[in-house]
Structure 1
Amino acid sequence: MSLGFDFKVVLLTEDGDKNEDGSINATEMQEYVLKGIDSMEKMNEWFDRFDEQVAYPNEGNIKYDVGSDGMVVVIVKTQEVRSQVEDFITQTNNTNRSNV
């Protein structure tokens, strides 16, 4: 069942330096719309592929959280992982929506 909106991803890259309180600043931020990902079922399918292709191979260098409002926040530690996330999102957005 469609939620009436496509999920969005905010991709943040950490700068690596910790603040006094232990928090880490983001040096880059980009927002993406996941075209055609407009239901929890499609989001679960998307994340199954994302975990397999991007998150698990980069464990320790990536973390993410999915909000109930359709916003996904992905935080990466390296430019290499950032590129993999961007490539995955681009590939997903370029596929036929019926296959997503």
Structure 2
Amino acid sequence: MPKNNTYRMLVLLEDDTKINKEDEKFLKGKPGKMHEFVDELILPFDVDELDELNVWFDKFDAEICIPNEGHIKYEISSDGLIVLMLDKEIEGVVEKVKKFVEENN
């Protein structure tokens, strides 16, 4: 079981969606985003290991993010939560992310 201060990555798929009729009156038919939870991955360092986090994410960016630029984004919080969002159209990249985390653990 992971410690409470270990970084965790929530993997979400993001899909453009049309707003339904009920919400249309509030949002005036503007397109929105729908997010589907895929997985939670435990990363190999704690929240106080910022140097390790930076090195790990440099490699993650080079291998995963840069080849998928424009279709992938992430947010890192100071409490150890990372939210990774992939466009639904590159759903296959989820397996690459899981493999990367496993191999770089």
The structure-2 alpha-carbon separation of the partners of 1:46 and 1:83, relative to structure 1 and needing over 3 Å to count, comes to same
For the pair shown, the structure with the greater C-alpha radius of gyration is: 2
Alignment pair present for 1:23 and 2:32: yes
Equivalent residues of 2:17, 2:31 under 8 A apart: no
Partner of 2:103: 91
Q: Which one of 41, 46, 62 corresponds to residue 51 of structure 2? A: 41
- In the TM superposition, what is the alpha-carbon distance from 1:29 to its structure 2 partner? 2.7
How many equivalent residue pairs?
89
Two-structure CA RMSD over aligned residues (Å): 1.8
Partner of 2:74: 64
Partners of 1:15 and 1:27 lie apart in 2 by 8
Runs of at least 5 residues in structure 2 that lack an aligned partner in the other structure: 20-28
With 13-22 and 25-34 compared, the bigger mean Cα shift is at 13-22
More strand by share: 2
Give the 4+ runs in structure 1 shifted more than 3 A: 18-23
Q: Secondary structure at the match of 2:6?
A: coil
Give % identity: 31
Q: Secondary structure at the match of 1:33?
A: strand
Partners of 1:84 and 1:18 lie apart in 2 by 29
TM-score (structure 2 length as normaliser): 0.74
Q: In the alignment, residue 5 of structure 1 is paired with which amino acid?
A: N
TM-score (structure 1 length as normaliser): 0.77
Runs of at least 5 residues in structure 1 that lack an aligned partner in the other structure: 94-100
